[in-house]
């Protein structure tokens, strides 16, 4: 395995592990949003674990990096006409620009599946 691939895989696994250890705020935010004051803030006291703090410390930057990664992957893996003869000229066969797999390619499907499971 390429050292760059190992480094990227380790970074992604670290983010995944840190995210899995932290608490979800999904249910809390529904309740907390009702406590918003006129200034747009929620005065709240929270008990956070070490894992929560480690996750929150880098969450914004990591989300931005993942969004950029997703956009760049989508820019690479997009359809193009495959050329050649087709039986239906109004619906030509498309292939991925990057991997040349039939569209939608496995990379696009993986991104789509991951984002649809949020």
How far apart CA 94 and CA 102 sit, in angstroms, is 6
Q: What is the pLDDT of residues 59-92, one digit of tens each?
A: 888 898 889 898 999 999 999 887 766 677 777 8
How buried is residue 53: exposed, middle or buried, by Cβ count under 10 Å (0-12/13-18/19+)? exposed
Residues 30-66: tens digit of each pLDDT? 888 888 999 999 887 878 888 888 888 888 888 988 8
> pLDDT at residue 114 above 70?
yes
pLDDT digits (tens, 9 = 90+) for 9-26: 888 888 888 888 888 878
- State residue 73's pLDDT score: 92
Query: pTM for the full model?
Result: 0.68
> What does the pLDDT read at residue 1?
66
Partnered with residue 95 across adjacent β-strands are 80, 102
């Amino acid at each position: 395995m390429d050292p760059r691939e190992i480094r990227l895989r380790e970074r992604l696994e670290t983010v995944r592990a840190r995210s899995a250890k932290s608490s979800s705020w999904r249910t809390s935010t529904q309740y907390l949003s009702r406590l918003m004051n006129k200034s747009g803030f929620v005065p709240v006291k929270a008990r956070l674990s070490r894992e929560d703090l480690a996750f929150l410390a880098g969450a914004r930057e990591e989300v931005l990096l993942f969004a950029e990664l997703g956009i760049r992957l989508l820019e690479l893996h997009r359809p193009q006409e495959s050329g050649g003869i087709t039986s239906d000229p109004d619906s030509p066969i498309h292939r991925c620009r990057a991997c040349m797999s039939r569209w939608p390619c496995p990379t696009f499907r993986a991104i789509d599946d991951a984002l649809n499971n949020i």
